[in-house]
């Protein structure tokens, strides 16, 4: 197993192998989070991230209160791959300005807890603002959730550049993966107004979770972009040898 992989990815690979070989049969529950923590000698954050990835690959189904049920020996839907270069996200932040309209430490709502993999009621630093271009035109709304261990970054937030890089530089940590979800839908009135759009106009919603090597969430960013102003382009390369 490649030692260069993040710890949670190594645990995921071990569990995948155990499932594929039938050591955890289809229809049975995996060991509990506490048991996996003990057997692999890792934190609960690491185990939860490994289990999340198994669920996204279609191998297990997470069931509230009862654990993770094995539902397949092989992935049943498309694999989830890490973004090849997190630094590729930096250019957008460098070319825009973040205008913070509100900030402060507040407890996570149940929805935010699901997005961060944190606990509802846990105090996180919350930022709300607007990304504007060099001409001052509003480009996107910005909502950022920052883990409790990094809340002191509030006094040193960059107006330009990526917040996750400021955290890396200040605290000596590293985001090794970004989990990204992109959806389209009508923008709520509170989102459309600062973007100078009508309520219910179609927008693109981006949810990005920046993950450390131990599986813990560093920050979660949520943004809305007017659909007609935004194009998201990717170049995908074969991973064949």
Is residue 140 located within the same domain as residue 53?
no
Domain count, the chain: 2
What's the confidence (pLDDT) of residue 79? 43
Buried b (16+ CB within 10 A) or exposed e, 98-108: beeeeeeeeeb
Is residue 115 located within the same domain as residue 210?
yes
- The C-alpha atoms of residue 114 and residue 73 are separated, in whole angstroms, by 26
Is residue 103 located within the same domain as residue 206?
yes
Q: Is 12 helix (H, G, I), strand (E, B) or coil?
A: helix
Is residue 37 located within the same domain as residue 130?
no
Whether 140 is in a domain gets the answer: yes
Q: What is the mean pLDDT of the chain?
A: 86
- Two structure tokens written together for 239: 């991973």
Is residue 124 located within the same domain as residue 221?
yes
In this predicted structure, the answer to whether residue 58 has a pLDDT above a threshold of 80 is yes
Whether 117 is in a domain gets the answer: yes
Residue 95 is part of a domain; what is its CATH number?
3.40.1410.10
Q: Is 103 helix (H, G, I), strand (E, B) or coil?
A: strand
pLDDT band at 237 (very low <50, low <70, confident <90, very high): low
Q: Within 10 A of 15 (CB to CB), how many other CB atoms are there?
A: 25
- The C-alpha atoms of residue 40 and residue 24 are separated, in whole angstroms, by 16
**Per-residue pLDDT averaged across 18-39, rounded?**
93
Q: Where are the alpha helices (DSSP H) in the chain?
A: 7-20, 33-40, 44-56, 90-94, 110-116, 163-171, 189-192
Residue-level length of the chain? 241
pLDDT band at 63 (very low <50, low <70, confident <90, very high): confident
Q: What is the pTM of this model?
A: 0.72
- Domain range holding 27? 7-70
pLDDT tens digits for 82-104? 445 666 666 566 668 899 999 99
| Domain final residue pick, 21, 46, 70 | 70
Phi and psi (nearest 5°) for 238? -65, 140
- The C-alpha atoms of residue 33 and residue 55 are separated, in whole angstroms, by 14
| Domain final residue pick, 37, 70, 103 | 70
Q: Of 225, 217, 194, 220, whose CA–CA distance to 207 is shortest? A: 220
In this predicted structure, the answer to whether residue 239 has a pLDDT above a threshold of 70 is no
Q: Of 83, 12, 84, 23, whose CA–CA distance to 50 is shortest? A: 12
């Amino acid at each position: 197993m490649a030692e260069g992989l993040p710890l949670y990815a190594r645990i995921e690979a071990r569990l995948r192998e155990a499932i594929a070989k039938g050591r955890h049969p289809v229809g049975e529950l995996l060991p509990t989070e506490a048991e996996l923590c003990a057997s692999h000698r890792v934190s609960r954050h690491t185990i939860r991230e490994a289990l999340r990835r198994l669920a996204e690959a279609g191998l297990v189904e997470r069931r509230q209160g009862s654990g993770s049920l094995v539902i397949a020996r092989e992935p049943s839907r498309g694999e989830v791959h890490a973004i090849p270069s997190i630094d590729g996200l930096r250019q957008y932040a460098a070319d825009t300005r973040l205008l913070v309209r509100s900030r402060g430490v507040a407890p996570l709502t149940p929805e935010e807890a699901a997005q961060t993999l944190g606990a509802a009621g846990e105090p996180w630093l919350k930022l709300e603002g607007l990304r504007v271009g060099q001409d001052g035109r509003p480009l996107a709304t910005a909502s950022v959730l920052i883990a409790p261990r990094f809340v002191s970054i509030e006094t040193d937030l960059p107006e330009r550049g990526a917040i996750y890089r400021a955290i890396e530089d200040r605290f000596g940590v590293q985001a090794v993966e970004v989990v990204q979800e992109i959806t389209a839908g009508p923008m709520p009135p509170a989102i459309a107004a600062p973007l100078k759009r009508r309520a219910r106009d179609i927008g693109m919603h981006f949810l990005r979770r920046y993950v450390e090597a131990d599986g813990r969430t560093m920050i979660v960013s949520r943004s809305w972009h007017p659909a007609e102003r935004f194009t998201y382009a990717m170049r995908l390369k074969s991973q064949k040898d």
